[in-house]
Amino acid sequence: MANVMSPIIAERIWALPLSGSAVKFLQYLVSRSDFGGGLSVRQKDMAAEYGVTPQAVSGLMAPLCELNIVLRPRSEERNGNSYRLHPLAAKYESPESMEAAFRAALVRIQAGDLPNLKLPTYRQAPPAATGRPKLQVA
């Protein structure tokens, strides 16, 4: 079975206004998520698996929620501490299932039923380093 990662996140992860620990935690969430973004693991179980306190999980989750990469259900829909990855940030079984999910997500975003990702835009990727770095010893 294939495992297709959203190129929207994979290609822009370097530009996200996140700490290194939040980026690493996002990678954990993607690996732990179901296809389509469901996170069936509870926050206290995430903490135990990731080796941090539940409060630390909340701290790592907060910037991801601010960017709408991780979605919290509305309080009346919550079932404990349930989260899910945004459909545009989730992994999928195949390129075809990802494309279908993206199309459905874009319709929901336009209808106001799903928040859009708050990702930085860029016109081009930063230039790659060329040649040898200029290192000097004082």
Give CA–CA dist 58/110, Å, rounded: 29
Give CA–CA dist 120/29, Å, rounded: 21
Q: Are 89 and 107 in contact (CB under 8 A)?
A: no
- pLDDT at 99 > cutoff 70: yes
- Choose the most confident range, by mean pLDDT, from 23-27, 78-82, 110-114: 110-114
- pLDDT at 12 > cutoff 80: no
Set out the domains of the chain in order of their start, with CATH numbers: 4-111 (1.10.10.10)
Q: Give percent of the chain with pLDDT exceeding 90.
A: 53
Give CA–CA dist 23/63, Å, rounded: 10
Q: pTM of this prediction?
A: 0.78
Residue-wise pLDDT tens digits, 103-117? 999 999 999 999 999
| Count of Cβ atoms closer than 10 Å to residue 98 Cβ | 22
* The pLDDT of residue 7: 80
Residue-wise pLDDT tens digits, 50-64? 999 999 999 999 999
Query: What is the DSSP-derived secondary structure letter of residue 39?
Result: E
* The pLDDT of residue 84: 93
Q: Cβ contacts of residue 131 below 8 Å, gap of 6+?
A: none
* The pLDDT of residue 90: 93
